[in-house]
Amino acid sequence: MAERIIHNVQNMLRGERFEHRGEIVVIGLGRFGSALALELMRLGHSVLGIDANPGRVDEMKGELTHVAQANTTNERALKALGVHEALTVAVCIGSGIEASVLTTAILVDLEVQNIWAKAITADHGRILAKVGAHHVVYPEAEMGERVAHLVTGRLEEFVRLNPSPTEDESIEPGDEFVISQMVVPPRFAESTLGAAGIRAQFRVTVVAIRPEGGRYTYAEADTVLGGADHIVVAGHPDDVERFASAD
Ligand code: ATP
């Protein structure tokens, strides 16, 4: 398959067309890009993975629909691969900020409609957004924040639903919203949700409940919170932490 791509690229560079309509393009097959590309494949999408490093391209051969080796800061190379015909392109170059920004700028010039770009710092993200990326993600920063909430031992899961104010200046600190999972705080063990008054006291909402070894069910007013049950709680991150710490 990769040979076919390389063959096609060579043909393209000689002036022939190579179509990738409907395919999702992942640029940069490092740890993040390859995980993203493989998950997209698992979800049933067709994926073209591109990397400047022939070793990375070789490793992904046979795993993705198509792979190609190219320096994506070269507009001609991107066009040769038909990247301008794709609806969705994810730029997963992190530490090479110049290559990440330049690649994104070329994709904007090529009028790709749905550009996702990975940023490793807030400044990097701001530049990507200014250049015209439609979505900027911060996998390292988000994972760091998530793990910080988990290592304290109170939360079992922490998922932010909007960017943090450090990543996106348009987000007010009060507008932050997360979904978390934790064991029922001791103070609320054996009470019903209706009687516990959790939303009034902590401004968080218990969304679902799962007994140890059991299944998730939606939380209702008459749901009894078992001391070892796991609950899914939504709200502001500070309120969620305050609730999780209620002994
Ligand atoms: P990881 O996802 O592994 O954490 P990272 O954030 O450290 O990656 P880089 O190592 O800078 O990011 O880039 C990820 C991948 O992108 C690498 O495999 C690298 O070869 C590829 N890459 C970097 N620059 C270019 C470029 N100009 N054209 C194509 N691919 C590139």
Could you give the residue ranges of the DSSP H alpha helices within 43-162? 54-60, 75-80, 97-109, 122-131, 139-151
Ligand 1 atom nearest 99 alpha carbon? 27
Give the atom of ligand 1 at the shortest distance from the alpha carbon of 102.
27
Pick the last residue of a domain from 106, 121, 137: 137
The answer on 133 and 29 residing in a single domain is yes
Q: What is the DSSP letter of 46?
A: -
Single-letter amino acid, residue 153: G
Please indicate, yes or no, whether residues 15 and 69 belong to a single structural domain of this protein: yes
The pairs formed by 3-7 with CB atoms below 8 angstroms and a separation of 24 or more are: 4/66, 5/48, 5/66, 5/67, 5/68, 5/81, 6/68, 6/69
**Shared-domain flag, residues 114 and 166:** no
Q: Are 103 and 132 within one domain? A: yes
What pLDDT, on the 0 to 100 scale, is given for residue 21? 52
**Final residue before a domain boundary, out of 119, 137, 155:** 137
Q: Is 190 helix (H, G, I), strand (E, B) or coil?
A: coil
How many distinct structural domains can be found in the chain?
2
Position 175 scores a pLDDT of 85
Residues 128 and 19 in one domain: yes
**What pLDDT score was predicted for residue 10?**
43
If you measure from the C-alpha of residue 73 to the centroid of ligand 1, how many angstroms do you get, rounded to a whole number? 12
Q: Are residues 215 and 189 in the same domain?
A: yes
Q: Which domain holds residue 167?
A: 143-244
Per-residue tens of pLDDT for the chain, all 247 residues: 334 444 444 444 443 344 445 799 999 999 999 999 999 999 999 999 999 999 999 999 999 999 999 999 999 999 999 999 999 999 999 889 999 999 999 999 999 999 999 999 989 999 999 999 999 999 998 898 889 889 987 899 999 998 778 777 777 888 899 999 999 999 999 999 999 999 999 999 999 999 988 999 999 999 999 999 999 999 999 999 999 999 8
Q: Which of 29, 31, 50, 51 to mutate to test the pocket of ligand 1 (most atoms within 8 A of CB)?
A: 51
Between the CA of 35 and the centroid of ligand 1 the distance, in Å, is: 13
The enclosing domain of 20 has a CATH number of 3.40.50.720
Two tokens, residue 112: 């790709």
113 CB under 6 A from ligand 1? no
Report the CATH number at residue 190: 3.30.70.1450
Q: Could you say which of 121, 137, 153 is where a domain stops?
A: 137
Out of 57, 93, 95, 120, mutate this one to test ligand 1's pocket (max ligand atoms within 8 Å of CB): namely: 93
**Ligand 1 lined by 78 (C-beta under 6 Å):** no
Q: Is 170 exposed, middle or buried (0-12, 13-18, 19+ CB in 10 A)?
A: exposed
